[in-house]
Homo-oligomer: A and B are copies of this chain.
Amino acid sequence: MNDDTETPGWVIRMSMPEPSVDDNTADKDRLLGCLSRSLGTDKEMMALDLELVRQLPRILRNSNFDIRVSYFKARGTCFLTSIVDSSSDCRALGIAIDLGTTKYVLRIVDLQTKDTLFESSFDNPQTEVGQDILTRIHKSDQSKSNLDYLHNLLIRDLNENIHSMSDSIGLSTQNVTNVSLAGNTAMTHFFLNFEPYWMIREPYIPVANEIDLLKAGDLGLQLSPQARVFCFPNTGSYFGGDLFSGIVYSGMHKREEISILVDVGTNAEVVLGNKDWMIACAGAAGPALEGGASDIGMQAAPGVIDSLNIDPENLAFDLHTIEDLPPVGICGSAMIDLTAQLFKAGLLDFRGKFVPAKQPDTFREIEDIIYLILVPAEKSATGEELLIGQPEIDSLIRSKAAMFTILETLVGSVGVTFQDISVFYVGGTFGNYIDPKSAITIGMLPDIPLDCYTSLGNSSLEGATMSLQYPEVVQEVFEVKDKITYLELNVNQEFMNAFSAAKFLPHTDKSRFPSIYLCFVTHNLSLLH
């Protein structure tokens, strides 16, 4: 959608009639009158900051009443964020922020041409306080100054990086007028300096699900004094702005067909629906899907195993590492590949237990725990064996079972089946790297045609960018928010039964995974029973 510069964006040019004795309304009223006619917005619903009103008479007269205005609107009031002489070459800039727990991405957008001018990714400086969000929340619980510290860390880092990014393309941060931020509920709380204390404690109450367009300066962001910040809304503590951003980017909210969107991580956030209805839920899947439950699990980096294959005939392991360096560990998506490959090779049974008898040299037992020797010592970067223990596989299987049960529960709650789903979006920093075939093989994702699966990339960033390019996207966000039903996952006996049934490879009910079953007919039929 990025190449459509004809669609009106957040910048509008206006040539106004000059004042005369017969047309002598005040400058501000003249401007808002003109703008409200152009935009079809009620004049009462438009606002200029006091400082901009103060500058208005000179801007209007110096430009002969021919100006370019940038504006921003979420719910409620439409704010004018800059006014310049239409002949000025001063660009109004937007900044899209994908505020992740570990990393954040900034993208500078020209609000008029809608072009991306620069993009860069940065470590979230709060990792200094805690790698995971819960550690940070618990720190912030201890004192107001801890919360302030976390907030200020982030704002300072954002300021520095926005500044250096702007510098590098020869633009001033003073030209940044519209900011759009998508993050999970906790990160949005830290950004706004809201106490996350209550959001992680029953009944899990965020400070706010929606916040008006904020003055960037009130948040400490050093941009144009009139810059306004849009934060994507949440629906509760576990369904954050990043998901709304993903939904509008996917377009699933505008299609007739039913789609599903899953953000795979420690929490699985899922939304299902079409243009008429939407239902969402979120549940804990555990850290195993991200590789967090494994001793050698790590994030993508040079030397990390990112894909692998096991020859079904000779059971030889074919590992691939990032930059082809000697292996140091394994990333989350490759753990899913590994589990799938072990299962297909008969080295893992349908209960998810290692089958050392099939190839004894590949396994080692230490203190009653069986380990798979993924990389022998002589081939690893560390000079030590890279081992995967049975408990790590068990953990992954619990996580995949949780994920599948969440999907199953959500789909079942509205009386549709996985077969009714036209597109299955997999998102999240980690989700994008999952091989759907592996995920289906272990019964983590449903057995629907592979071409239904679509990776969304950084959907949070893309949705935030779109909200800076197309005013209607912001409106769509709120339409989606108002339409969406949040299903509280009730972890009752029924859920636990489904979960137990999903703790097998791929599932106790083979009929749910016909493609996997078919595959096994040719290879290891015996393993299924």
Contact = CB atoms under 8 A, between A and B. Distances in A.
B207 A19 contact: no
B54 A207 contact: yes
Interface stretch (A129-137, A174-182, A187-195, A403-411): A187-195
A391 to B, nearest CB: 32
Contact of A27 (B26, B207, B218): B207
Interface string A61-97: 0000000000000011100000000000000000000
Contacts of A210: 26, 28-29
A168 interface: no
A511 interface: no
Nearest to A194: B54
Contacts of A26: 205-210, 234, 236
Interface string A207-221: 111111010001100
Interface in A153-202: 192-195, 197-198, 202
A45 interface: yes
A50 B53 CA distance: 22
Interface in A248-304: none
A188 to B, nearest CB: 11
A44 interface: yes
Interface in A348-382: none
Given A207-B28, A208-B29, A218-B50, A195 B19 contact: no
A434 to B, nearest CB: 31
A55 to B, nearest CB: 10
Contacts of A21: 202-204, 488
A421 interface: no
Interface in A23-69: 23-29, 44-45, 47, 50, 53-54, 56-58
Nearest to A197: B57
Nearest to A42: B76
A20 interface: yes
Contacts of A24: 203-205, 236
Contacts of A197: 57
Interface of A: 19-21, 23-29, 44-45, 47, 50, 53-54, 56-58, 75-77, 192-195, 197-198, 202-212, 214, 218-219, 234, 236, 488
Given A26-B236, A53-B208, A54-B193, 6 more contacts: A19-B205, A25-B209, A26-B207, A47-B76, A53-B192, A57-B197
